[in-house]
Amino acid sequence: MTLRLEAVSCRVGSRLLLDAVSLEVPRGAMVAVVGPNGAGKSTLLRVASGLIEPEAGDVTFDGIPLKDMTPERLAMRRAMLTQDSPLRTRFPVMDLVRTGLRGVPAKQVDAFAALALRRVGLADFARRDVLSLSGGERQRVHLARVLAQLEAGALSDTPGLLLLDEPLSAQDLPRQALVLDIAREHTRRGGSCLVVLHDLNWAASRADSIMVLSQGRVCATGPPHAVLTPDMLKETFAVAAPRVHMHDRSGRPFVVPHDITAAQASETERKAAPCILP
């Protein structure tokens, strides 16, 4: 499924949160949105998911205006993992994942939910109470719910749009890789993915293209090597002396954002590169 935003603007009171933002996430592609805190990244995802209606511009799924889609149709075509999914009541994990499966024939619901839990590495957690989970486990249960929702939608259509807002925030290093591999698997099967990431190196190593947002405006968009430049890092993130290297094998950039000495940088790169680069 292809998501397209054309000149989308969004305002709260007198404050412009998104200013004429255009973006395309083609079928089969992963697009990462990066940018400073408060840049408008979550707002962009909410607009793309239909949770917020923009004051100007168009949002379409496969050419169909999002505002013309029924809530049921929307639920089949996109699913979103939000930054914070508060839960204050006791709830079995399996039931939470099942909430993503409205409309699925009853006899298939448990199989879908179990598969989604297995994909996020939580096959044995079905009977646990969500309040008893660690932060990382809970975030992956929500991811399972989102994946199950998209699987259900794919029963009657092509795979839909996966919207992930900082999905790595509570994950350790191997699970960060797992989460992004799951998203890439979704795109390999014909789905699309728009993901907000703070870690530029994860964005560089996995995304087809990166959009840089700052103060609600698009500063740069394109393939990782074209976007992640020292000049962009200095201007957008106010980093003093960023270094950007190209990884020999993948041709993807690797960012050392801190103003550190060459010796320290080499050490950082030596340690980090095998873990994070494809």
Ligand X SMILES: Nc1ncnc2c1ncn2[C@@H]1O[C@H](COP(=O)(O)OP(=O)(O)OP(=O)(O)O)[C@@H](O)[C@H]1O
Site for ligand X in 31-90 (CB under 6 A): 35, 37-43
**Residue 70, class by beta-carbon neighbours within 10 Å (0-12 exposed, 13-18 middle, 19+ buried)?**
exposed
Minimum CB separation of residue 139 from ligand X in Å reads 15
Distance CA(148)–CA(109), nearest Å, equals 9
Please report how close the Cβ of residue 130 comes to ligand X at its closest, in angstroms. Answer: 23
In the complex with ligand X, the residue whose CB is nearer, 177 or 213, is 213
How far the first Cα of the chain sits from its last, in Å, is: 25
**Please, which residue, 41 or 175, has the CB nearer to ligand X?**
41
* Minimum gap (Å) between residue 176 Cβ and ligand X: 17
Query: Strand ranges (DSSP E) for the chain?
Result: 3-12, 15-25, 30-34, 56-61, 64-65, 78-81, 161-165, 192-196, 209-214, 217-222, 243-246, 253-256
CB of 37 to ligand X, least distance (A): 3
- CA angle (35 as vertex; 33, 40 as ends), nearest 5: 80
Q: Which stretch binds ligand X (CB under 6 A): 9-17, 107-115, 148-156, 217-225?
A: 9-17
Cα dist from 146 to 165, 227, 228, 278, whole Å: 12, 29, 30, 25
Task: Name the residue nearer to ligand X (CB basis): 43 or 187.
Answer: 43
Q: Which is nearer to ligand X, 39 or 255 (CB)?
A: 39
- Binding-residue total with ligand X (CB under 6 A): 11
Choose between 42 and 49: whose C-beta lies nearer to ligand X: 42
Check binding of 100 to ligand X (CB under 6 A). Answer: no
CB of 103 to ligand X, least distance (A): 30
10 Å Cβ neighbour count for 174? 10
Residues that bind ligand X (CB under 6 A): 12, 15, 17, 35, 37-43
